[in-house]
Chains A and B, each alone.
Chain A
Amino acid sequence: MKSLRRRNIRDRVMEVVLMASTILVLLPLLIIIYHVISNGISAINWEFFTEELGSPSRAMQGRPTGLVHTMIGTLVVDFMALAIAVPVGIGAGVMLSEYPDHRLNPTLRIMNDTLNGMPAILKGLFAFVLIVKPMGTFSGIAGAAALAFVMIPIIARTTESALMSIPWTIREAALAIGLPRWRVVLSTVMPAAKTGLVTGILIGFARAAGEAAPLLFTSFGNNYLPNHWTGFIFNPVDTLPQRLYSLAISPYAQWHSMGWASAIVLLGFVILCFTAARLASRQKYQL
Chain B
Amino acid sequence: MRSSIKPERKNNMYSIRLYITVICLAFIAVSCGGNGDNPGGQQAVPGSQQSSTESRMDILGAGATFPAPLITAMADEYRDETNNRVTVNYQSIGSGGGVRQFIEQTVMFGMSEAYLSDQVMAEVLEKTGGRAFNIPITLADVVPTYNLPGIDKGLVFSGELLVDIYLGKITRWNDPKIAGLNPGIDLPRTPITVVHRSDGSGTTNVWTSYLSRVSDEWRNRVGYATSVNWPTGIGGNGNEGVAGAVQNTMGAIGYNSLSYALLNNMAYGSVINQSGNTIEPSFAATSEAANIKLPEDTRILFTNTPAEYGYPIAGFAWMLVYENLDQNNAIRNRRAAEELVRFLIWSVTDGQKLSEELGYAELSDAAVERSMEMIRQLKWNGEEIGRNLLDGDRPA
Q: Which residues of A contact B (CB under 8 A)?
A: 54-58, 80, 83-84, 86-87, 131-138, 141, 167, 170, 186-188, 190-192, 194, 216, 220-224, 226-228, 230-231, 233-236, 246, 249-252, 284-285, 287
Option from B2, B60, B87 in Cβ contact (under 8 Å) with A137: B60
Q: List 21 A-B contacts (CB under 8 A).
A: A56-B73, A83-B23, A87-B24, A136-B332, A137-B330, A191-B13, A191-B16, A192-B2, A194-B12, A221-B89, A228-B52, A228-B53, A230-B45, A231-B58, A233-B33, A236-B89, A251-B243, A251-B260, A251-B263, A284-B15, A287-B8
Docked CA distance A221–B68 (Å): 14
**Contact B89 A192, beta carbon cutoff 8 Å:** no
Least CB distance from B117 to A in Å reads 22
Docked CA distance A163–B73 (Å): 54
Option from A80, A222, A234 in Cβ contact (under 8 Å) with B89: A222
Task: Evaluate whether A137 and B106 lie within 8 angstroms (CB atoms) in the complex, with A84-B27, A220-B91, A228-B49 already known.
Answer: yes
Q: Which of A58, A134, A138, A170 has the most CB of B within 10 A?
A: A138
**Contact A135 B37, beta carbon cutoff 8 Å:** yes
Task: Evaluate whether A133 and B2 lie within 8 angstroms (CB atoms) in the complex, with A55-B75, A224-B89 already known.
Answer: no
Option from B26, B69, B93 in Cβ contact (under 8 Å) with A83: B26
Contacts of A133 in B (CB 8 A): 104, 106
Chain B, 235-272, CB within 8 A of any chain A CB: 238-240, 243, 260, 263-264
List the B residue with the shortest CB-CB distance to A248: B240
- Residue B171 at the A interface, CB < 8 A? no
| Given A235-B60, A246-B92, 12 more pairs with CB closer than 8 A | A55-B73, A55-B74, A83-B26, A87-B27, A135-B38, A138-B106, A141-B34, A186-B20, A224-B79, A224-B89, A251-B243, A284-B12
Docked CA distance A134–B5 (Å): 48
Docked CA distance A285–B239 (Å): 55
- Residue B151 at the A interface, CB < 8 A? no
**Contact A84 B30, beta carbon cutoff 8 Å:** yes
Contacts of A188 in B (CB 8 A): 9
Least CB distance from A155 to B in Å reads 12
Contact with A along B10-36 (1 / 0, CB 8 A): 011101110010011011001001100
Contacts of B27 in A (CB 8 A): 83-84, 87
Task: Evaluate whether A136 and B106 lie within 8 angstroms (CB atoms) in the complex, with A55-B75, A227-B49 already known.
Answer: yes
Contacts of B93 in A (CB 8 A): 216
Option from B30, B79, B238 in Cβ contact (under 8 Å) with A141: B30
**Contact A57 B332, beta carbon cutoff 8 Å:** no
Contacts of A191 in B (CB 8 A): 5, 9, 12-13, 16
Least CB distance from B23 to A in Å reads 6
Docked CA distance A191–B33 (Å): 32
- Residue B174 at the A interface, CB < 8 A? no
- Residue B219 at the A interface, CB < 8 A? no
Top 4 A-B pairs ranked by shortest CB distance?
A55-B72, A191-B12, A136-B329, A227-B56
Q: Which residues of B contact A (CB under 8 A)?
A: 2, 5, 8-9, 11-13, 15-17, 20, 23-24, 26-27, 30, 33-34, 37-38, 45, 49, 52-53, 56-58, 60, 62, 69, 72-76, 79, 87, 89-93, 104-106, 238-240, 243, 260, 263-264, 329-330, 332, 357-358
Contacts of B5 in A (CB 8 A): 191-192
Docked CA distance A61–B162 (Å): 36
Contacts of B74 in A (CB 8 A): 55
**Contact B11 A221, beta carbon cutoff 8 Å:** no
**Contact B57 A56, beta carbon cutoff 8 Å:** no
Contacts of B238 in A (CB 8 A): 249
Docked CA distance A226–B33 (Å): 17
Docked CA distance A84–B25 (Å): 11
**Contact B60 A236, beta carbon cutoff 8 Å:** yes
Q: Which of B24, B27, B76 has the most CB of A within 10 A?
A: B76
Docked CA distance A54–B68 (Å): 11
**Contact A55 B76, beta carbon cutoff 8 Å:** yes
Contacts of A234 in B (CB 8 A): 34, 37, 45
Least CB distance from B139 to A in Å reads 18
Option from B30, B38, B53, B58 in Cβ contact (under 8 Å) with A134: B38
Contacts of A250 in B (CB 8 A): 240
Contacts of A287 in B (CB 8 A): 8, 11
Option from A135, A187, A249 in Cβ contact (under 8 Å) with B240: A249
List the A residue with the shortest CB-CB distance to B56: A227
Contacts of A134 in B (CB 8 A): 38
Option from A87, A141, A230 in Cβ contact (under 8 Å) with B20: A87
List the A residue with the shortest CB-CB distance to B90: A223
Contacts of B73 in A (CB 8 A): 55-57
Docked CA distance A87–B26 (Å): 11
Q: Which of A87, A136, A233 has the most CB of B within 10 A?
A: A136
Docked CA distance A250–B263 (Å): 11
Contacts of B89 in A (CB 8 A): 221-224, 236
List the B residue with the shortest CB-CB distance to A221: B91
Task: Evaluate whether A187 and B9 lie within 8 angstroms (CB atoms) in the complex, with A55-B76, A167-B2, A228-B53 already known.
Answer: yes
Docked CA distance A132–B34 (Å): 11
Option from B11, B23, B34, B87 in Cβ contact (under 8 Å) with A227: B87
Docked CA distance A284–B89 (Å): 45
Least CB distance from A209 to B in Å reads 18
**Contact B2 A227, beta carbon cutoff 8 Å:** no
Least CB distance from A282 to B in Å reads 13
Task: Evaluate whether A186 and B2 lie within 8 angstroms (CB atoms) in the complex, with A133-B106, A251-B264 already known.
Answer: no
Contacts of A246 in B (CB 8 A): 92
Least CB distance from A222 to B in Å reads 5
